[in-house]
Amino acid sequence: MKLFVPGILMVGLLTAADAKEDAVKKELKKLKGTWSATAMEFAGKKAPEEEVKKTKIMFDGDKATLIDGKEKKPATIKIDPSKKPATIDITPTEGKEKGKTMKAIYMIDGDTLKIAMGFGDDRPTEFTTKKDTFVGLIVFKRDKK
């Protein structure tokens, strides 16, 4: 009987881990593709329209590429859709920011994706920016295939 209880607990933990992994896979499928920015702001200030128009992000599995005009910035991502709001950690794999993880939150609503990222140690808790904060918000629309 003593071995039976830990066995049940182990099965329960593995089932919960499988469910979380399935939720992550499902969410990564929702993210897959190319998204074009429609609005951006940092510290409560809107970005110029020409900057917004040249910003895209592409997702493929646990990889992402931020496109800023002609410059491509590859990264790895780690998401947790079980958090409220859902979290995404973005870690550049090249350039001067290589290996520095940006903590962010995200929300997918149909073909709209919002990402609020902190440029410091703290993860944002809402999809807004305010003066004198180090939070950026980008709203994307999914590109048609």
Q: What's the CATH number where 114 sits?
A: 2.40.128
- Can you give the residue range of the structural domain that contains 43? 4-142
pLDDT computed for residue 132 by the predictor: 83
pLDDT computed for residue 1 by the predictor: 44
* 3: confidence class by pLDDT, cuts 50, 70, 90: very low
Can you tell me which residue has the tokens 């609503």? 109
The Cα–Cα gap between 115 and 104 comes to 7
The Cα–Cα gap between 121 and 130 comes to 17
- The alpha carbon of residue 30 and the mean position of all alpha carbons in its chain are separated, in whole angstroms, by 12
| Mean predicted lDDT score pLDDT of the chain | 87
- The alpha carbon of residue 134 and the mean position of all alpha carbons in its chain are separated, in whole angstroms, by 17
Burial class (CB within 10 angstroms; exposed 0-12, middle 13-18, buried 19+) of 35: buried
Q: How many domains does the chain have?
A: 1
* 14: confidence class by pLDDT, cuts 50, 70, 90: very low
* 70: confidence class by pLDDT, cuts 50, 70, 90: confident
Q: Which amino acid is at 52?
A: V
Read off the pLDDT of each residue in 82-91 and give the average, rounded to a whole number: 95
pLDDT computed for residue 29 by the predictor: 94
Read off the pLDDT of each residue in 114-143 and give the average, rounded to a whole number: 91
Prediction pTM value: 0.84
pLDDT computed for residue 78 by the predictor: 96
Instruction: Name which of 75, 123, 101 is nearest 136 in CA terms.
Output: 123
